[in-house]
């Protein structure tokens, strides 16, 4: 063993000891005094060892760990191509902008084209549509699934419609059967925002696949509360090699070349091509076919992701079990609407979404205030109704820039009455029991 290898082995062994000393100890849960977070980092010594290992190589930007992560995540998802990026929001940006590429010919999304989506969710599912200059068309959602009302899809369609871009809300798959049929009928792109739903499954015509892999492009987020974490991070995946090439181009400054960083002439076109009005043989590494970004990840983040991937099956299993515990414990509580899995699906839940009925005898804010007083963390369903936010003030005044189909009645109901609590793998039975006890106690006392 070389001196270098010997030193690295010593450093990594000390890293494992550090984890055991600093992070491994479990604190006793005391109801009402200990916090019950809605989510959090779920890791052991392997993530920290990988992080330190990659830092010692000092590659820094995307490198061998990033390539390993992309390969392993694609295999886990069952897709052909996966591009890792610096956040789930960037993943959505890349997924949408890929569909604006001139390389797609008449199918490309142009400014002024329409994209069907929902207002009940996280803004970065919708932001790329607006940032590009396309028009989001908002459709209401259904209860108790909290996902898109597919009965309104045809009402939302126009001769300007080019795509559907929606999320599997808090891990519950939307009605993929209806959405896929609608997209196929009209020749539309489908982007699945899978940031809340890594590991969720959907069965169609006897075939079961993971969500994010049914449409043309899927996206994931690896922010700490999500199913797996890199601290910051995301991924875009597809079975289409052309879309994958376009996604990577937009991620890597918009360049035309697909050679990985630090490697020259994998494409065998470095000094031989003719591009635009550039001189013949201009260096392909500096040819740009898109107005792109720099949204790459660091190799250190990818190293954490490689360790997280090994835990992903057990993470999904734990989230499902925690959902079942909460559902069984709360199903008979008065005044509440509980989340129900979409038909033909097996969700990998991100959170447990609850809505307070209109005439429950108490409000959402009263219930969440009580839970927070007991140190139980709650969250609203992100934006609630996105078009009510200040970012839409100017568009509301002018009546331009977006379109609404019918009334967003359920969207507004969720905005006013909905909240969610956690199901992440760090939840213990004591924590779950405390949440159930607290909700039951409040609702029973205050319900009509």
Cα separation, 156 vs 161, in Å, equals 8
- 23: annotated active-site residue: no
* Catalytic residue chosen out of the listed positions 168, 226, 227, 284: 226
| Residues with active-site annotation | 226
């Amino acid at each position: 063993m070389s001196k270098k290898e010997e030193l690295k082995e010593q450093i990594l062994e000390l890293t494992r000891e550090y984890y055991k000393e600093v992070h491994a100890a479990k604190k006793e849960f005391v109801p009402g005094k200990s916090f019950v977070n809605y989510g959090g980092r779920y890791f052991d010594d392997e993530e920290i060892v990988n992080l330190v290992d990659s830092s010692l190589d000092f590659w820094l930007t995307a490198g061998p760990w990033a390539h390993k992560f992309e390969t392993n995540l694609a295999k886990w998802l069952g897709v052909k191509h996966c591009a890792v990026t610096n956040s789930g929001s960037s993943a959505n940006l890349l997924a949408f902008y890929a569909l604006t590429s001139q390389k797609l010919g008449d199918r490309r999304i142009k400014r002024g084209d329409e994209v069907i989506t929902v207002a009940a969710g996280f803004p970065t599912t919708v932001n790329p549509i607006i940032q590009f200059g396309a028009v989001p068309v908002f459709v209401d959602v259904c209860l108790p699934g909290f996902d898109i009302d597919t009965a309104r899809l045809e009402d939302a369609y126009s001769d300007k419609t080019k795509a559907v871009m929606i999320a599997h809300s808090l891990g519950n798959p939307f009605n993929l059967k209806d959405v896929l049929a609608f997209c196929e009928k009209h020749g539309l792109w489908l982007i699945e925002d899978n940031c809340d739903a890594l590991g969720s499954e959907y069965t169609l015509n006897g075939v079961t696949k993971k969500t994010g892999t049914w449409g043309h492009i899927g996206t994931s987020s690896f922010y700490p509360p999500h199913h797996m974490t890199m601290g910051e991070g995301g991924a875009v995946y597809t079975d289409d090699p052309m879309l994958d090439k376009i996604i990577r181009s937009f991620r890597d400054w918009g360049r035309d070349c697909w050679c990985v960083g630090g490697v020259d002439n994998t494409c065998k076109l470095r000094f031989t091509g003719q591009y635009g009005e550039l001189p013949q043989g201009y260096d392909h590494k500096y040819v740009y076919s898109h107005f792109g970004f720099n949204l790459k990840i660091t190799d250190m983040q990818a190293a954490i992701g490689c360790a997280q991937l090994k835990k992903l099956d057990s993470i999904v299993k734990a989230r499902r079990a925690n959902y079942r515990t909460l559902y069984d414990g709360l199903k008979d509580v008065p005044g509440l609407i509980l989340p129900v899995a979409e038909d033909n699906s097996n969700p990998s839940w991100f959170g447990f979404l609850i809505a307070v009925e209109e005439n429950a005898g108490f409000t959402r804010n009263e219930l969440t205030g009580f839970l927070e007083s007991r140190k139980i963390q709650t969250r609203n369903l992100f934006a609630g109704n996105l078009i009510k936010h200040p970012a839409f003030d100017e568009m509301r005044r002018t009546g331009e820039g977006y379109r609404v189909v019918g009334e967003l009645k359920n969207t507004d109901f969720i905005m006013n009455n909905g909240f969610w609590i956690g199901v992440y793998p760090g939840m213990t039975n004591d924590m779950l029991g405390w949440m159930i006890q607290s909700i039951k106690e409040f609702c029973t006392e205050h319900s009509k």
